[in-house]
């Protein structure tokens, strides 16, 4: 019974989260309850708790994690300054006469917004408020419209620069070092957030291409579901000029941020600083910056960042107690007994993460699950960058899957009552298939993930 305490502890956390208790305090509270019970029962070493302050200091002094509030500020500023709304409007006018042009515009703008914010909920809600009424008004079927918006909103999981990849990269880096130390490797290889950004470029572009190809196929085979927007601006030259004026600044900003990281000119934290400053400048140039708006953006940035770091602290305490009960050895033993070796272990982890994506956000899974399974899988020879990208796409897929996908709930909250939930569920089904095909392709051809 004692050897299964880590599994019981993990199950209790999942149950408490399903009941709606706050994530950070649930992780820390369950960990403290089990640690206290273990100390009283004589099965947990209380000296382990003395290492928690050093873990806490390590979190707060982690230079890589400074990128989190900076990227959040960049995304919130672009959202609050209505730059994304202007871009969508101009792109719809310029491309609306093309077959499926409005749907293609939503995918492109959603991808840019996802790269800017990196937060699934913010992107889905924003795109739902901006584009869903427009698509429905122009005759798009509710299934295609809602499916496109939901799928596009989850691109923030995989398209760099992404907050999800920043957090995942930091956790994967720590797990990789632990795996090497466990194997007795003294000359440690390192994995950075920039490596995950580079590895995500091709999968992200492939996913966008698959989305756009599906919308084009629907517009060609079933034009009644994706009609041309005939009431677009007649002066297409003016529309294209407006499109360029709204598109180029955002593209330049994202290129500066991502290009400086991939080119090795800046760390993710330094690039995030460039992104935050660039978003501020763009808002000022568009005359969308005021003291009230700046205060609103800073308040939202502080709230989101505080939530992320509080969860990280709670997850750190949880993983400390989990390991104190021998959880890592238990996971390693279970994985070694699975049929199929490394392939079987990876499949099980992917399935578990997929299912947990129904009840946990990507932040909780990144901070709780990955530190548990990551060192074991990496110790079995799995490439760390490939594993990180597979986990990111897997979480993206789980956020779309009915009936519990988070993206579905976000869109349901802003969609008009005339759009039934069944239409949203049917709409995301083809996009789920496309993402599963991408996962299969990455499993067959891991070289698609640059590392």
The residue ranking higher by pLDDT, 231 or 259, is 259
The residue behind tokens 């995989």 is: 158
According to the model, what pLDDT value does residue 393 have? 92
pLDDT band, very low/low/confident/very high, at 395 (cuts 50, 70, 90): confident
pLDDT at residue 3 is higher than 90: no
Q: Model pTM?
A: 0.83
143 is written with which tokens? 């299934």
DSSP string, 61-80: T-SGGGHHHHHHHHHHHHHH
Of 243, 253, 282, 279, nearest in space to 104 by CA: 243
Q: Read off the pLDDT of residues 177-234 as tens digits, 9 standing for 90 and up.
A: 988 888 888 788 888 888 998 899 999 999 999 999 999 999 989 888 888 755 554 4
pLDDT at residue 167 is higher than 80: yes
pLDDT at residue 255 is higher than 80: yes
Q: Read off the pLDDT of residues 324-358 as tens digits, 9 standing for 90 and up.
A: 888 878 877 787 777 878 888 899 999 988 888 77
246 upstream amide cis, omega within 30 of 0: no
Q: Read off the pLDDT of residues 137-160 as tens digits, 9 standing for 90 and up.
A: 888 899 999 999 999 888 878 888
- The CA distance from 23 to 371, in Å, is 17
37 upstream amide cis, omega within 30 of 0: no
The residue ranking higher by pLDDT, 231 or 268, is 268
- The CA distance from 249 to 255, in Å, is 10
Of 116, 113, 139, 115, nearest in space to 128 by CA: 113
- The 10 Å Cβ neighbour count of residue 187 is 5
187 is written with which tokens? 């000359």
According to the model, what pLDDT value does residue 229 have? 59
Of 119, 180, 203, nearest in space to 384 by CA: 180
44: left (phi over 0), alpha (psi -120 to 50) or beta: beta
Residues 6+ apart with CB under 8 A from 369: 352, 353, 356
146 is written with which tokens? 């809602």
Percent residues over pLDDT 90 in the chain: 21
Mean pLDDT computed over every residue of the chain: 84
- The 10 Å Cβ neighbour count of residue 64 is 18
Calculate the alpha carbon distances from 77 to 7, 376, 411, 429 in Å: 42, 39, 22, 32
């Amino acid at each position: 019974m004692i050897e299964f305490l880590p599994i019981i502890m993990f199950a209790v956390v999942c149950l408490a989260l399903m009941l709606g208790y706050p994530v950070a305090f649930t992780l820390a509270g369950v960990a403290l309850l089990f640690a206290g019970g273990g100390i009283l029962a004589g099965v947990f070493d209380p000296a382990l708790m003395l290492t928690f302050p050093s873990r806490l200091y390590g979190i707060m002094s982690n230079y890589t994690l400074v990128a989190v509030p900076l990227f959040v500020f960049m995304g919130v500023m672009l959202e609050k300054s209505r730059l994304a709304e202007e871009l969508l409007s101009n792109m719809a006018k310029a491309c609306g006469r093309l077959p499926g042009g409005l749907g293609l515009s939503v995918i492109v703008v959603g991808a840019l917004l996802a790269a800017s914010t990196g937060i699934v909920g913010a992107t889905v809600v924003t795109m739902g408020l901006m584009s869903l009424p427009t698509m429905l008004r122009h005759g798009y079927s509710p299934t295609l419209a809602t499916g496109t918006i939901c799928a596009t909103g989850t691109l923030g999981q995989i398209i760099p620069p992404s907050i999800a990849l920043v957090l995942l990269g930091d956790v994967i880096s720590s797990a990789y070092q632990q795996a090497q130390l466990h194997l007795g490797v003294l000359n440690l290889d390192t994995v950075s957030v920039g490596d995950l950004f580079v590895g995500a470029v091709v999968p992200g572009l492939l996913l966008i291409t698959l989305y756009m190809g599906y919308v084009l196929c629907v517009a060609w085979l079933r034009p009644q579901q994706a009609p041309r927007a005939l009431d677009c601006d007649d002066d297409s030259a003016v529309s294209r000029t407006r499109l360029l004026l709204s598109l180029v600044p955002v593209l330049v900003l994202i290129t500066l941020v991502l290009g400086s990281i991939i080119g090795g000119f800046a760390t993710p934290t330094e690039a995030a600083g460039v992104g935050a400053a660039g978003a501020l400048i763009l808002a000022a140039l568009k005359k969308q910056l005021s003291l009230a708006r700046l205060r609103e953006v800073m308040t939202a940035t502080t709230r989101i960042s505080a939530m992320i770091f509080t969860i990280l602290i709670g997850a750190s305490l949880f993983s400390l107690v989990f390991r104190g009960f021998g959880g890592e050895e238990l996971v390693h033993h279970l994985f070694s007994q699975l049929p199929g070796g490394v392939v079987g272990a990876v499949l099980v982890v992917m399935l578990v993460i997929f299912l947990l994506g129904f009840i946990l956000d990507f932040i909780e899974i990144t901070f709780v699950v990955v530190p548990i399974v990551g060192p074991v899988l990496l110790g079995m020879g799995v490439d760390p960058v490939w594993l990180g990208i597979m986990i990111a796409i897997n979480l993206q897929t789980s956020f779309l899957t009915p009936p519990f996908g988070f993206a579905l709930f976000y869109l349901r909250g802003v969609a008009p009552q005339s759009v039934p939930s069944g239409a949203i569920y049917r709409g995301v089904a083809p996009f789920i298939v496309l993402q599963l095909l991408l996962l299969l392709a990455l499993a067959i051809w891991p070289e698609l993930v640059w590392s």
